[in-house]
Amino acid sequence: MERKISLTGIKPTGILHIGNYFGAIKPALELVNTYDALYFIADYHALNTMKDPAKLRASIREVAAGWLAAGLDPDRVIFYRQSGIPEVFELTTMIMAFTAKGLMNRAHAYKAQAAANSEKGADPDAGVNMGLFTYPVLMAADILLFNADVVPVGKDQIQHIEMAQDIAGAVNANYKQLVLKIPRPAVQEEAAVVPGLDGRKMSKSYHNTIPLFLDEKDLRKLIMRMVTNSQPLEDPKDPETSQIYLLYKLFSSAEEQAALASRYRAGGMGWGEAKEELFRVVNRCLAPLRERFRAVIADVEGLDRILKRGAEKARPIAAATVERFRKAAGIELY
Ligand code: ADP
Ligand code: TRP
């Protein structure tokens, strides 16, 4: 039986953090055993916010190296850059004709920006480029082009995938045939939202991240600087309301979690000690990733070659979808 298809992308808009790792990269890599996988760097999505070429160029390579360091095997996964697949932009234009403007008005990212503007008394569209406004259409094209069955993402991306479902549904209904496969989101519940250092969702925009490839010294410093309340050392503490413990859970076994939780509840353990424990398990997990990342990022040519080869493998699949759409739509090539 043919395997189903898993597809996901990450925007190269900065360095990867453990939210990206647990929310997107790790679950995606687990699916490689049971799905045909296509994973990519969404560089044109990043262009909406990244206008500095040196930074964008560096971030594309860093995110690509991050995937490889995390264990992506380019012989088993089709791994490429969005910009290497011109068919993405053809399909984007085609599906624009099936995307209600009202649907885009409801997209979270656009709505949040418009609401923030209105709150300041500014024009709701201030600072909104068409790339941001039509972001979900390009993302739908990324997904629909490759007949994806599942799209592993964090919770915040579910709305975008539902929009891809709507758009594909509108296309199929119009042509009364299955032109585009309807994808579904795959969200891993326990890592659906990785908390940041300050208790909010971990995100670059909140400056509350634990970067994945930080060296050991800086990682320790970052964890030690976590803000805690002023509960005295001897007080019993509630693990489930502690940021330190919530992060610890991501990196430890059930036994380790139970042990730390009972030390919290017993009292006599200060926040400093809890942070040391957190650092120990985080570093245990990230040290091998960090080593591999350094090796991969040092070989830029090798990295670029992998992405180019991935695009070569991906393009025939993309071309077949565009061809199918053209035929259904009456825009055949002569
Ligand atoms: P950021 O919020 O830092 O800008 P991105 O929006 O670039 O991160 O997210 C890239 C991928 O990582 C997406 O699939 C997103 O759902 C996932 N992700 C980001 N932050 C988290 C988090 N805190 N918890 C779970 N998944 C996350
Ligand atoms: N919008 C996704 C994010 O923030 C990135 C992305 C672009 C994506 N295209 C995609 C994810 C296609 C899954 C499938 O991070």
DSSP 133-177: HTHHHHHHHHHHTTT-SEEE--GGGHHHHHHHHHHHHHHHHHHTS
For residue 191, the model assigns a pLDDT of 63
User: Quick check: is 308 catalytic?
Assistant: no
Strand partners, 39: 8, 79
Which ligand does the CA of 20 lie closest to?
1
For residue 192, the model assigns a pLDDT of 66
The DSSP secondary structure of 63-89, one letter per residue, reads HHHHHHHTT--TTTEEEEEGGG-THHH
For residue 189, the model assigns a pLDDT of 77
Q: How far apart are CA 245 and CA 199, in angstroms?
A: 11
Closest C-alpha to ligand 1, atom 22: 19
How many helices (H) and strands (E) the chain has is answered by: 15, 5
For residue 200, give Cα distances in angstroms to 32, 192, 193: 30, 13, 9
Closest C-alpha to ligand 1, atom 8: 203
> How many A from CA of 50 to the centre of ligand 2?
16
Residue 21 has pLDDT above 70, yes or no: yes
The predicted-structure confidence for 244-256, as pLDDT tens digits, reads as follows 999 999 999 999 9
CB neighbour list of residue 184: distance below 8 Å, 6 or more residues apart: 149, 150, 151, 161, 165
Region 220-239: what's the mean pLDDT?
A: 91
Contact, 118 vs 124, CB < 8 A? yes
CATH 1.10.240.10-classified regions of the chain:
213-293
**Please, what sign has the CA dihedral across residues 288, 292, 297, 303?**
negative
Mean pLDDT of the chain: 95
**DSSP collapsed to 3 states, 184-209:** EEECCHHHCCCECCCCCECCHHHCCC
Ligand 2 in reach of 81 Cβ (< 6 A)? no
Q: How far apart are CA 80 and CA 307, in angstroms?
A: 5
- Helix (H) or strand (E) run with residue 38 in it: strand 36-41
The predicted-structure confidence for 155-205, as pLDDT tens digits, reads as follows 889 999 999 999 999 999 999 999 999 999 998 776 668 889 988 999 988
**Domain 5-193+299-329 CATH class label:** alpha beta
CATH 3.40.50.620-classified regions of the chain:
5-193+299-329
For residue 46, the model assigns a pLDDT of 98
Under CATH, which architecture does the 213-293 domain have?
Orthogonal Bundle (1.10)
The predicted-structure confidence for 88-109, as pLDDT tens digits, reads as follows 999 999 999 999 999 999 999 9
Total length of the chain: 334
Which ligand does the CA of 160 lie closest to?
2
User: Quick check: is 204 catalytic?
Assistant: yes
Ligand 2 in reach of 9 Cβ (< 6 A)? yes
The predicted-structure confidence for 42-64, as pLDDT tens digits, reads as follows 999 999 999 999 999 999 999 99
Measuring from each residue's beta carbon to the nearest atom of ligand 1, which residues come in under 6 Å? Answer: 10-11, 13, 19-20, 23-24, 153-154, 156-157, 191, 193-194, 201-205
The predicted-structure confidence for 267-321, as pLDDT tens digits, reads as follows 999 999 999 999 999 999 999 999 999 999 999 999 999 999 999 999 999 999 9
For residue 220, the model assigns a pLDDT of 97
Closest C-alpha to ligand 1, atom 14: 153
Query: 51, 101, 120, 217: which is the annotated catalytic residue?
Result: 120
Contact, 261 vs 241, CB < 8 A? no
Among 52, 62, 75, 78, smallest CA distance to 11 is for 62
Q: 3-state class of 5 per DSSP? A: strand
Residue 18 has pLDDT above 80, yes or no: yes
Q: 3-state class of 275 per DSSP? A: helix
> How many A from CA of 259 to the centre of ligand 2?
38
> How many A from CA of 19 to the centre of ligand 1?
6
User: Quick check: is 4 catalytic?
Assistant: no
Prediction pTM value: 0.93
**Please, what sign has the CA dihedral across residues 115, 120, 123, 127?**
negative
Phi and psi at 77, nearest 5°, equal: -120, 135
Q: Which pLDDT band holds residue 137 (cuts at 50, 70, 90)?
A: very high
For residue 313, give Cα distances in angstroms to 7, 48, 268, 309: 14, 27, 58, 6
Query: 26, 55, 181, 204: which is the annotated catalytic residue?
Result: 204
What is the arrangement of strands in the sheet containing 77-81, beginning at the earlier edge strand? 77-81, 36-41, 5-10, 150-152, 184-186
